[in-house]
Amino acid sequence: MPNSKPKKEPPPMSADALNPLYPAIAPYRTGQLPVDDIHTLYWEECGNPDGVPALFLHGGPGAGLSPQHRQFFDPAYYRIVLFDQRGAGQSTPLGEALENTTDLLIHDIERLREQLGIAQWLVFGGSWGSTLALAYGEAHPERCTGFVLRGIFLCTRSEIDWFLNGIRLFFPQEHARFVADIPETERGNLLQAYARRLFSGNPAENMRAARTWSRYEGSCLHLLPHPEVAETFGSAAVGLGLGRLEAHYFLHDAFLSEDQLVRNVDRIRHLPAVIIQGRYDVVCPPVSAWRLHEAWPEASFQMIEDAGHAAFEPGIASALIAATNQFKRDGTL
């Protein structure tokens, strides 16, 4: 049911005074959407209730929303819809992997769209949000007016292996902390080693592993160090959802067949899209964005030369806002 008063906001996950974000806004409507016997999703609407609909898909899986995510869109023009995916943020239960698959997330998006009476929307997603945006679009192209995609993650096995092992080539200290609690005998398969700790029957062990996993990712997001972001990622509120659900989705190859998102891109090639990628993105290396662009040459491709992975890096934030403004100028409906 909708709520007239929004819940207390979590702290921002990242900030930079140079970012050209739109001014901070509060939701004009929020709600809780029960999607099955386990999961209830938090959702919110911001901006212009009569504006052009835009859907924001957060990363992770499991990272949840930040209030700043509302600020990539002109609130006078867009009807901005945001929600916490299953097991993330203000959705409940936090970090729950049961009944949590990509197909179910796509079904959730459709339920939310129908509940809000929206026929079509611009789909905006970064990192895992780009994965889900592509999967949703390929399943329901008729519901999409276009895409803004950032820090592309196709959830292939090579990308998962890179996250778990390859990042140490650029962030050796951070990777050393990531594996510190894993015995040498288990480090040959870090995903399985973490899964044993994240999904054991010991809540304290689950939380410790999840926060270590999440802090590792948060330490590698930016071109330049942002230790405050790593600490936010390592908090209980963010860590449990991010750590458990990333491992869960990695264990199951995101419930996608290998390279499914690239193979099925013809389903959405007729739609306008912007692909934005940080040149020095170590979490989601640029080769994935380039592979997507090769399969989708009609999409605009922008390599941000002074950025890593985070959406709030100044160059990436500028490009994302330029993209939503371009859709505004072109008209998406």
Residue recorded with tokens 């199951």: 252
From 66, 127, 130, 214, active-site residue? 127
Query: Is 226 buried (19+), middle (13-18) or exposed (0-12) by CB count in 10 A?
Result: buried
User: Token pair for residue 260?
Assistant: 């499914």
The gap between the terminal CA atoms of the chain, to the nearest Å, is 28
User: Is 281 one of the catalytic residues?
Assistant: yes
Q: Collapsing DSSP states into helix, strand and coil, what is residue 145?
A: strand
From 39, 58, 281, 288, active-site residue? 281
Q: Got the DSSP string for 200-259?
A: SS-HHHHHHHHHHHHHHHHTTSSSS--HHHHHHHTSHHHHHHHHHHHHHHHHTGGG--TT
Cβ(195)–Cβ(251) below 8 Å: yes
User: Is 293 one of the catalytic residues?
Assistant: no
User: Is 127 one of the catalytic residues?
Assistant: yes
Please list, residue by residue across 119-142, b when 16 or more beta carbons sit within 10 angstroms of its beta carbon and e when fewer do.
ebbbbbbbbbbbbbbbbbbbbbee
CA-nearest of 179, 181, 152 to 277 is 152
C-alpha distances in Å from residue 149, one per residue of 22, 53, 117, 326: 19, 16, 24, 14
User: Token pair for residue 156?
Assistant: 């292939």
User: Token pair for residue 224?
Assistant: 């330049």
**Distant-in-sequence, close-in-space partners of 48: CB < 8 Å, separation ≥ 6:** 75, 76, 77, 78, 79
Q: Indicate which residues carry an active-site annotation.
A: 127, 281, 309
